[in-house]
Structure 1
Amino acid sequence: MAIQSKHILSEDPSTLVLDSLKGLCDTNPQLALDATNRVVHVASPDPSKVALICGGGSGHEPAHAGFVGDGILTAAVCGNVFASPNPRQVRQAMELVGNDKGTLIIVKNYTGDVLNFGLAKEQFAARHPGKANKVRFLIVGDDVAVGRTQGSIVGRRGLAGTVLVYKIAGALARRGAPLEEVYDIAETVSKNLGTVGVGLEHCHVPGTAASESYLSENEIEIGMGIHNEAGNKRVSPVPPMDKLIDQLITIIISTEDKDRSYVPFRGGGQDQVVVLVNNLGGLSELELGSVSGEVLRQLKDKGLSVQRLLSGTFMTSLNMPGFSITLLLLPEEQHTRDLVLSLLDEPTETPGWKWTSRVPPTSLKSSPKISRTDSAPEKSKVPLKAQDPFAFISAVERACNAIIQAEPEITRMDTIAGDGDCGLTLKGGAIAVLQATKDGRVSGDDIVSSLIAISQVAEEQMGGTSGALFSCVLSLHLTHHQVTDHSRIFFSSLAQALYSSTEAINWNGALESALDGLYTYTRARRPSRTLIDPLSSFVESFVSGKSLVEAVGTAAIAAEETKNVEAKAGRSAYIESESLKKDKVADPGAWGVKLILEALIQK
């Protein structure tokens, strides 16, 4: 897959970090900014509380500056993208928030961060000998993808688990605990963290040249770092989510791989954990929610007791499409375990910290059962049986298969002229209708009830504008009319005209009534570059006395003509009209109507 290399930047990309920090402080009045040294800090730090300082390269937002505020960090020192800040910057942060109660510096285990923050600590101690014993230094390494052999000297990389150290230590500092207690709790948490990440692709650093795709289209990488460092293995093809998450969790909790067994999990249902599912920057919230639920389910299946589940964007790798899973193994001792959870649960006013439930996640709660009046289509008082039931089902199946086969082309059209979902929406509805024919809800023995069932499928399975319009067309005012009045439904009327006797029904009136009913719910009128164009063309042609084949032909011409029509309704109305005409793209919904009508009359 291609690397996303477009960014919103000023004329000088080098100002991005400072511009971002200014924006952060503009939105949070409790913060102050030393612009020269790129230090974000609490504007009025409490000298009676231990100060917490962190930092590193930018590009991991909301880490680190997003966690500065009441209850977590006192200051964050920000380098360039993926580059450590220099010692001078760190010393400035120590001067800004230092106090007699003490300072704890927490850094991720990356060589640049450790060296520069460590050097700043030593320089600060040399300048302030009386405060030398009031500064502690903690290095967090939670990446379990880096084995002991590979990382023999440098150790594990620091990843998203670091923010749990920030939160827990910061909450204890706010309670007024002395420096040694704050350090001890931070160290305890750090030693019991395991994190592993997975990426669909590398990220792109703003201001640099566009880069080629790092991974193939059907390949992912497990164990990637947050600075585009390679992972410990690639997997192809991309496994289903449940298989992928099983691999990731196993890497963290397995005690059989002595090279990567960093956290002392005991197994046998004895382990209680805090779970952090972290967005690496480019994963949609839709996908992240799905991942979080699957992680919880699998941890429970593996016998781990999940005490807290946190999900969101905590530590990114710019715009990397991927996520990481962090497990914090809670202490066995009850008092310490309760302390860690209480500190994690304490409210904070920092913008980067996401909402958490502060209670253990429970099993999914299902909504109460509500009686549905539309669960099954009402049988007609006088069933309208098709003259040829087999032909009726064949026509329905032809229409569905035509839509399924055309999905790639309809999707292509909608990618240009809409939001890209029309093809899949129509395909999903078609597949569901085919299933309804298999289970007997759609048959030629009672056309009205069958078409009501199709209407329900359109409503429930298709969604979107197309689903709503098709459903409206099929299901207007059914409950208070005799069977002949059911012919007000557009597609029901069409199907009856095609496959049943016309002796008792006024088809022209039925079609006109169906179209009027549809106009109740949309302002679109032909020509509008919507599915109204072929629908109205079909109805008007048929009512004027043209044959069914001629009416369908008129509808097909109207669908084709949407390539040249200025959009007046629908999603295309928001797109520059000349570009649509230039691309010669038909309206996707209109094209779907064309395909359905043409398939219905085939023999």
Structure 2
Amino acid sequence: MAVKSFEVSDPVISSLKGFALANPSITLVEGEKVLFRETSSDKVAIISGGGTGHEPSHAGFIGEGMLSGAVCGDIFASPSTKQILNAIRLIDAKSNGVLLLVKNYTGDVLHFGLSAERARALGIDCHVVVIGDDVAVGRAKGGMVGRRALAGTVLVHKITGAFAEHYSVKYGLKGTAKAAQIVIDNLVTIGSSLDHCKVPGRKFESSLTAEQMEVGMGIHNEPGVNVLEPIPTTEELISKHMLPKLLDPNDKDRAFVDFDKEDEVVLLVNNLGGVSNFIISAIAEKTTTFLNEEYGIKPKKVMTGTLMTAFNGNGFSITLLNATKASKELSANFPEIKSVFELLNAYTDAPGWSAGFFEAKKAPAIDHSILHTEVKVTEVGNYDFENFSRWMKAGAEQVIKAEPHITQLDTQVGDGDCGYTLVAGVNGIIGGLDQLSKTSLSEAMAQVSDIIEDSMGGTSGGLYSILISGFSHGLIKTCTEKNEPVTADVIAKAFSFALETLYKYTKARVGSSTMIDALEPFVQEFSKSNDFKKAVAAAEAGAKSTATFEAKFGRASYVGDSSSVEDPGAAGLVEFLKGVESAL
């Protein structure tokens, strides 16, 4: 199957121009693919760069307290020596020395290194620090090459940039380079990906099957060190395949940094480009839990984001910085610095640096006494709880049985989740039966309304919660005495009140192809005849009628032709009612 992607002409230049347009304090030298900001003549400047395709790295980290400039090569290709040297000359004109932070890839190291040599020959004070944080390619396989640079690079940018901003006047280029090396020596990263990325302008290629993924994935589509088949759960991937490579002291090939239980640690979960923010946040929670449970490590700072990417790479990396050891080394060399967190939390206006990464204000405490913990309404409506439970269970069983059909309908006219949402709702009711009031139907229905809202979510959850809450209120309006028994007439009046309540919050009516097409006929027939079986038949006829006209509400109203498909919400309501009918 072909991989679809947006393509543009001259993607590298277009991307750089677009970045400069969005960040007017940064200047683009188009002919050299160099981006830079205003610098100070008394401070060390920091330049990084490399092949494009890792956005927001590196241009996104140009800013006060971070990078001074970035040199951009073509896609996944090192910039030329000419480009880099011109960047050095341009930025050095208003700086006190230039530090090159270089990712440990052969082309980058060679070109940045040669540029530094030429810069020094021109009388420019220039130094190179090579960044390597990957543990996947261990000592044996890495040989003389050393560790690759992954997402830990961004932490080096931030901490070194803050050092240059606040301390380079005193400690100069040599001190700034030393600070960078201290951070690198205390960093470890491991990546993993479900597949390779799609490179603009190139055909998508991958040797991985649908049942395989890689651990140790780099940021240039290079293969990982392990192929996993079948694909493990995300939890197993983190706990069994990633964290041990970062933290196992017995793995001498990869134990680059020692971590003790009392050490303060920074955790960075980086999105390689193609994973949702939702899942990245979940991965951060799972990783934090495993670190604590399996290694006794409780990260002092957790960072998540899309920082060092491989285009749309469907993967993520985990980076750990031993902040305790880094802080001790920084303090030993620079007495003013008590903790690496001072530098990590220092201000920067770099556009790629999230505001959430700065030192957090103290979070407020929870006053549990004011939280909504219990549903309390006027207690009326003496009812048979055992029969009620039996009816609810029968209705739930029917919805669960019909879920595939409901879901199939919703895949044609919605987003395919209606069946799952209804099942979540009925499971919530069944799971909460024991907590319901056993003597008051009004209170029990108010509690069911609360359960529905919590368990279903979305529009359906809100509508059903309002309906059932209205039913509870209808009972309170109808019953004149606390212990008045619940009769068919009382139920009918409460249903009518519930429908009126629902109509306050939705404009859907019969003919809109929604659950209303089944609900209103049910309520009207039951109010007229007090016959549940006839009311269910009226609801079913109303639901089937929705397959004869276009939807006017919900996703079905704009996903295409829905005139020949029964509304899944109406069908789901009918299935529940039919289940209840079977138990009467």
Quickly name the TM-score band, shorter chain normalised.
0.7 to 0.9
Q: What's 2:4 paired with?
A: 6
After superposition, the CA RMSD in angstroms is 3.1
Are positions 1:525 and 2:516 aligned together? no
Amino acid at match of 2:383: L
Q: What's 2:574 paired with?
A: 594
Are positions 1:308 and 2:301 aligned together? yes
Q: What's 2:12 paired with?
A: 17
Take 1:254 and 1:95, find their aligned partners in 2: how far apart are those partners? Answer: 44
Query: Structure 1 length as normaliser, TM-score?
Result: 0.85
Distance change >3 Å, CA 566–CA 183, structure 1 → 2? same
Q: What pairs with 1:313-332 in structure 2 (closer than 5 Å)?
A: 313-330=306-323, 331=325, 332=328
Take 2:435 and 2:345, find their aligned partners in 1: how far apart are those partners? Answer: 53
C-alpha deviation, 1:450, in angstroms: 3.7
C-alpha deviation, 1:568, in angstroms: 1.6
Are positions 1:105 and 2:100 aligned together? yes
Q: Does 20-29 or 402-411 show the bigger shift?
A: 402-411
Contact kept? 1:537, 1:551, Cα under 8 Å: yes
Contact kept? 1:251, 1:260, Cα under 8 Å: yes
Contact kept? 1:309, 1:356, Cα under 8 Å: no
Are positions 1:57 and 2:48 aligned together? no
Distance change >3 Å, CA 317–CA 409, structure 1 → 2? farther
Unaligned runs of 5+ in 2: none
Q: What's 2:425 paired with?
A: 429
Contact kept? 2:475, 2:491, Cα under 8 Å: no
Query: Structure 2 length as normaliser, TM-score?
Result: 0.88
Take 2:206 and 2:556, find their aligned partners in 1: how far apart are those partners? Answer: 32
Contact kept? 1:140, 1:190, Cα under 8 Å: yes
Aligned residue-pair number: 567
1:299 to 291, 295, 299: 291
Q: Does 540-549 or 191-200 show the bigger shift?
A: 540-549
Contact kept? 2:195, 2:206, Cα under 8 Å: no
Q: What pairs with 1:396-407 in structure 2 (closer than 5 Å)?
A: 396-407=392-403
Contact kept? 2:44, 2:98, Cα under 8 Å: yes
1:549 to 514, 521, 533: 533
Distance change >3 Å, CA 453–CA 224, structure 1 → 2? same
Amino acid at match of 1:186: A
Q: What's 1:368 paired with?
A: 367
Contact kept? 2:273, 2:315, Cα under 8 Å: yes
1:279 to 263, 271, 276: 271
Take 1:18 and 1:417, find their aligned partners in 2: how far apart are those partners? Answer: 42
Take 1:373 and 1:350, find their aligned partners in 2: how far apart are those partners? Answer: 42
C-alpha deviation, 1:97, in angstroms: 0.9
Take 1:380 and 1:260, find their aligned partners in 2: how far apart are those partners? Answer: 66
Are positions 1:231 and 2:229 aligned together? no
Amino acid at match of 1:119: L
Question: What percent of counterpart residues are identical?
Answer: 38
Q: What pairs with 1:335-374 in structure 2 (closer than 5 Å)?
A: 335-336=331-332, 338-356=338-356, 358-359=358-359, 367-371=366-370
1:136 to 127, 135, 139: 127
Take 1:407 and 1:137, find their aligned partners in 2: how far apart are those partners? Answer: 62
Take 1:108 and 1:141, find their aligned partners in 2: how far apart are those partners? Answer: 7
Q: What pairs with 1:451-470 in structure 2 (closer than 5 Å)?
A: 451-470=445-464
Q: Does 349-358 or 56-65 show the bigger shift?
A: 349-358
C-alpha deviation, 1:524, in angstroms: 0.8
C-alpha deviation, 1:326, in angstroms: 0.9
Q: What pairs with 1:80-91 in structure 2 (closer than 5 Å)?
A: 80-91=74-85
Q: Does 413-422 or 526-535 show the bigger shift?
A: 413-422
- Flag as ranges the 4+ runs of structure 1 deviating above 6 A: none
Distance change >3 Å, CA 294–CA 508, structure 1 → 2? closer
Contact kept? 2:119, 2:126, Cα under 8 Å: no
Distance change >3 Å, CA 306–CA 210, structure 1 → 2? closer
Are positions 1:221 and 2:214 aligned together? yes
The DSSP-based 3-state class of the residue aligned with 1:475 is: helix
The DSSP-based 3-state class of the residue aligned with 1:61 is: coil
C-alpha deviation, 1:215, in angstroms: 4.5
The DSSP-based 3-state class of the residue aligned with 2:353 is: coil
Amino acid at match of 1:434: I
Take 1:34 and 1:588, find their aligned partners in 2: how far apart are those partners? Answer: 57
1:145 to 136, 139, 157: 136
Per-residue CA distance 1:379-433 (angstroms, 9 max, x = gap): 84451227xx44x433311221233344444444444533444333222212111
Q: Does 249-258 or 295-304 show the bigger shift?
A: 295-304
Amino acid at match of 1:567: A
C-alpha deviation, 1:328, in angstroms: 1.4
The DSSP-based 3-state class of the residue aligned with 1:335 is: helix
C-alpha deviation, 1:251, in angstroms: 1.6
Distance change >3 Å, CA 563–CA 110, structure 1 → 2? farther
Q: What's 1:200 paired with?
A: 194
Take 1:449 and 1:238, find their aligned partners in 2: how far apart are those partners? Answer: 48
The DSSP-based 3-state class of the residue aligned with 2:19 is: helix
Take 2:160 and 2:352, find their aligned partners in 1: how far apart are those partners? Answer: 16
Amino acid at match of 2:567: D
Take 1:527 and 1:235, find their aligned partners in 2: how far apart are those partners? Answer: 52
C-alpha deviation, 1:483, in angstroms: 7.3
C-alpha deviation, 1:260, in angstroms: 0.7
Q: Does 593-602 or 555-564 show the bigger shift?
A: 555-564
C-alpha deviation, 1:501, in angstroms: 4.2
Amino acid at match of 2:113: G
Distance change >3 Å, CA 596–CA 38, structure 1 → 2? same
